[in-house]
Amino acid sequence: MPVDAARWKVSLHGGHSREYCDHAYSSLREMLEAAVAAGYHTFGVTEHAPRVEERLLYPNEIALGWDVPKLLADFERYAKTLPALVEEFADRLVVLRGFEIEVVPAASYVSLMQDYRRRYAFEYIVGSVHYVNEISIDGSVEDFQKAIDACGGVEPLAVRYYQTVAEMVTALQPEVVAHLDLIKLHGRHFGLKETEAVRRAAEEALQAVRATGGIVEINTAGYRKGLSEPYPAPWLVQLAQQMGIGFCLGDDSHRVEQVGFGLEQARAYLLEQGVRALTVLTREGDSLSRHEVPLE
């Protein structure tokens, strides 16, 4: 276990790598070496869960000639490769074995994600919502417009987004809830506001997080995607803090240059919001432990 790393330097979401993800650029080993260089104490590797229907393939995957059997095989290879890397890096970095869930197909994702976790004995999961009504809200602007049209406007889309977060959290009880207000990435260009209806839906999502013991991630990808803040926004941080929900950090890295990006900035962001400690997961002995770590 690393002895010199600051204990607050923990990312519980990231480490996406080119062997297993079409939109990642570095190898998993390179990502772990970068995490050591960035001074991480604990680094959670959380590859995306495979989507199991051809209609859900990304355009880039189709262009690469990938199909569902390849996605499933890559995910299995990922799950079976991780344990050896955990051991290899153990004296320099605590590497956690996780994955990032998907909420598609809507009718079966819960049982699918539960099966992945059980079958491959993952230590934890990152709960993410990238789709609303099976339409991507994290991809192209064109898809986002389709989601708006399907919901009847940007406000009802945002409400449905937070409802989907609440449903996912209640069903899967993820240890980490990722980029809670991802809807703002494209929504800001379509006039998305913090209306009473949006706030109420977001509060209900946070109530689900509190009820299931989840940790809200401060995701630094917001900084590199042109936002002036990480995910989630200050009003959500304050609301979660009032509800007694803990926070963790995640760099959502897909290449070595993103490992550790925005970490110090996110730490300052939390301190500005009055948050003085992180809720982290790390490995102690053979089991995962959860505890509070001061930010100062």
Query: What is the residue-level pLDDT of the chain in tens, covering all 296 positions?
Result: 554 568 999 999 999 999 999 999 999 999 999 999 999 999 999 999 999 999 999 999 999 999 999 999 999 999 999 999 999 999 999 999 999 999 999 999 999 999 999 999 999 999 999 999 999 999 999 999 999 999 999 999 999 999 999 999 999 999 999 999 999 999 999 999 999 999 999 999 999 999 999 999 999 999 999 999 999 999 999 999 999 999 999 999 999 999 999 999 999 999 999 999 999 999 988 889 999 999 98
In a domain, 3, yes or no: no
List of residues 6+ apart from 41 with CB closer than 8 A: 2, 5, 6, 7, 8, 9, 10, 93, 94, 282
Type and span of the H or E element at 59: helix 59-64
Structural domain span for residue 265: 10-294
SS3 at position 69:
helix
| DSSP E strand boundaries for the chain | 10-11, 42-48, 94-100, 124-127, 131-132, 135-136, 176-177, 215-219, 247-250, 277-284, 287-294
Q: What is the CATH number of the domain that holds 186?
A: 3.20.20.140
Work out how many domains the chain is built from and give that number: 1
CB 181 within 8 A of CB 232: yes
In a domain, 2, yes or no: no
List of residues 6+ apart from 56 with CB closer than 8 A: 104, 105, 134
In a domain, 174, yes or no: yes
In a domain, 4, yes or no: no
